[in-house]
Amino acid sequence: MLQSRDYYPENEFHGLRVAITGGTSGLGLALVREMLGRGAQVAFVARRREGVDRVVREHAGVHGIVGDVSKKDDIHPIAVQIVGLLGGLDVLINNASDLGTAPLALLADTECEELERALATNVLGPFRLTKALLGALASSAREGRGAVVLNVSSDAAINPYPRWGAYGASKAALHHMSRIWSEELTSAGIPVLSLDPGDMDTPLHAIAVPDADPAELKRPETAAREFADAIGKLLAFMRSERTLQKVVQ
């Protein structure tokens, strides 16, 4: 069983309060493990209770929340539980995602409801959850702990792949929204990242590209380590800037 402990003393993650959506599978689960391994306090969200219970059973100290980020009515209960369980929030990772169509389909064969589901999960969910947690993140930034939002993007946000219409359009919207959030929030001490993990061996990828060779795909653990390194560098930079400001004041 993994323990919520600090493998790297003096690191940026010790006691960091991290929330991850979609924490029961693929990249989200790898991020839960990576953050716990670095000494963070972690809360994660997923829709299916059995998956949430399994991850909680297997990882000491982690907080599991059952909720659907695509549903407006679930957002505030999710946000309240995150802040209550962690005692605040320093890092929000909007990772949960929906392909829209499974199997992938041409736009002409995509139902409106499928596009709506992709947009609700991949754009509206991160928008609403970020908005609901802004107060907690701003408070963390003011206290000098450092606050970061990471939205998980995709190369489908940039490249117009045929048959990836619902997913690609939603990821493009999320990517652009992240850039605007970043322009608006960085001055408040809350940078917003939008990062593409690359093609990974996960259940989502297996549904999207069933004939892909898993051996040629990136391990989600590798992407989780890269994302954690990016967050760690940003936190270290923000904390050193704050220290410098105090010295020159």
Residues in the chain: 249
> What's the burial of 104, exposed, middle or buried (CB within 10 Å: 0-12/13-18/19+)?
buried
Strands (DSSP E) contained in the chain are 17-21, 41-46, 63-66, 91-94, 148-152, 192-195
Is residue 150 close enough to count as binding ligand NAP by CB under 6 A? no
Residue 51 or 191: which CB sits closer to ligand NAP? 51
Among 100, 146, 197, 232, binds ligand NAP (CB under 6 A): 197
Residue 197 or 232: which CB sits closer to ligand NAP? 197
- Do you find a cis peptide bond into 214, omega within 30 degrees of 0? no
Residue 13 or 164: which CB sits closer to ligand NAP? 164
Residue 135 or 214: which CB sits closer to ligand NAP? 214
Cα gap 30→69, rounded to integer Å:
19
**Cβ–Cβ < 8 Å for 221, 202:** no
Residue 100 CB, nearest approach to ligand NAP (Å): 11
Among 20, 42, 45, 83, binds ligand NAP (CB under 6 A): 45
Alpha helices in 6-71 (DSSP H): 26-37, 49-58
Query: Which 80-99 residues touch ligand NAP, going by CB under 6 A?
Result: 95-98
Residue 37 or 100: which CB sits closer to ligand NAP? 100
At 6, phi and psi to the nearest 5?
Answer: -100, 110
Is residue 56 close enough to count as binding ligand NAP by CB under 6 A? no
Among 203, 210, 211, 247, binds ligand NAP (CB under 6 A): 203
Residue 67 CB, nearest approach to ligand NAP (Å): 6
Amino acid identity for residue 222 in this structure: T
Of all residues in the shown chain, the one whose CB is closest to ligand NAP is 26
Cα gap 33→148, rounded to integer Å:
19
Q: Which of 17-25, 34-42, 179-187, 224-232 is the region at the interface with ligand NAP (rule: CB under 6 A)? A: 17-25
Query: Which 105-124 residues touch ligand NAP, going by CB under 6 A?
Result: 121
Per the structure block, which two tokens stand in for 45? 């969200």
Per the DSSP assignment, residues forming a β-bridge with 88 are none
Is 167 catalytic? The answer is yes
Per the DSSP assignment, residues forming a β-bridge with 91 are 18, 148
Is residue 104 close enough to count as binding ligand NAP by CB under 6 A? no
Cα gap 130→128, rounded to integer Å:
6
Is residue 26 close enough to count as binding ligand NAP by CB under 6 A? yes
Report helix, strand or coil for 213: coil
Catalytic residues: 167
Binding site for ligand NAP (CB under 6 A): 21-28, 45-48, 51, 68-70, 95-98, 121, 152, 154, 196-197, 199-200, 202-205, 220
